[in-house]
Amino acid sequence: MPSTSDLLQRLAAAGEPEGLAILARRQTAGRGRDGRSWQSPEGNLSISLLLRPDAPAAHAPRFALLGGVALAEALSAFLPDRDAIRLKWPNDLLLGGAKLAGMLCEGSAHDGRIEWIALGLGANLAVAPAVPDRPTTCVAAYAAAPEPEAVAVALIRAVAAWQHRLATEGIAPLLDAWQHRGPRPGTMLTLRTGAGETSGLYRGLDADGALLLETDGRTRRFATGELSAGGD
């Protein structure tokens, strides 16, 4: 299959209801954030999930946090240390300081409301494909590699549970869960944006999932960007 996310988005636009999950044993045109290629060899997880939350479009970034937390919980069930996976804002999962998984959250909105969200998630289960600018790892480096279908079941259950909590309890529990696996408060981070690089002390996430960095004695909010140092 070329891309689970591309197929899911076409089906979402055609009216497919929430709950659709597309799992591929192998992708030939997987993609990550900012148009990067995502390698999807057989034995790894390549899955896209369709969500249709009843929420304002401004809340869309919350579902990227949800996807990261849910994937971390699902993968942790197959590792000896369930707290070992760390979250790197905005969409990476790290294990031992190396990239274990990534996520792409895309969607559509109409009249200020979310129409649909496509969560594309990829995780290195059996193989850790090399990437040019960062170390990678896989579950098999720490434990027996689980079958992608087993991880998919755990992931779908975790996503559903967090969707329910988000709808009934609000954003606070999700932020707590993300920050539990995120950088330690006060960690020095460097963020690359279109305007250049900014370094500052990590001060958590705001209610919309934006990154908060303290620079020159004031806390600044960043909705987009890529961490180039720290983050684990």
Tens digits of residue pLDDT in 200-209:
999 999 988 8
Write down the pTM of the prediction: 0.92
Q: Tell which residue, 117, 120, 122, has the closest CA to residue 60.
A: 117
Q: Which residues neighbour 177 within 8 Å (Cβ) at sequence distance 6 or greater?
A: 69, 162
> Out of 3.30.70.360, 3.30.930.10, 1.10.3860.10, 2.60.120.200, which CATH number does the structure's domain 4-181 have?
3.30.930.10
Confidence band, pLDDT 50/70/90 cuts, at residue 35: low
For helices 172-181 and 60-76, the axis angle rounded to 10 degrees is 50
> CB–CB of 209/64 below 8 Å?
yes
- What is the CATH code for 188-229? 2.30.30.100
In the chain, list all ranges with CATH 2.30.30.100: 188-229
What is the spatial distance between Cα 67 and Cα 142, in angstroms, rounded to a whole number? 23
CA 224 to chain centre: 14
Q: Is the pLDDT at 229 greater than 80, yes or no?
A: no
